[in-house]
Amino acid sequence: MTAPTAPYSTRRALDESDLAACFQVRKDVFVGEQQVPEDIEYDTHDATAVHVLAVAADGSALGTGRLLHGEAAAGKTGGDHTVGSLGRLAVTREARGLGVGAALVRAIEDEARALGLAAVDLHAQTQALGFYERLGYTAYGPEFPDAGMPHRAMRRAL
| Structure-model confidence comparison of residues 142 and 1, the more confident one | 142
Instruction: Evaluate whether 45 touches 51 at the Cβ level (below 8 Å).
Output: no
CA distance 119 to 82: 7
Is residue 3 very low, low, confident or very high in pLDDT (cuts 50, 70, 90)? very low
Is residue 148 very low, low, confident or very high in pLDDT (cuts 50, 70, 90)? confident
Q: Above pLDDT 70, what percent of the chain?
A: 96
Q: What is the mean pLDDT of residues 40-54?
A: 95
Q: What is the mean pLDDT of residues 41-67?
A: 96
Residue 2 in this model has a pLDDT that exceeds 90: no
Of 135, 155, 151, nearest to 143 by C-alpha is 151
CA distance 49 to 87: 10
Instruction: Evaluate whether 106 touches 63 at the Cβ level (below 8 Å).
Output: no
Q: What is the pLDDT of residue 5?
A: 55
Q: What is the reported pTM? A: 0.92
Residue 6 in this model has a pLDDT that exceeds 70: no
Cα-to-chain-centroid distance, residue 97 = 16
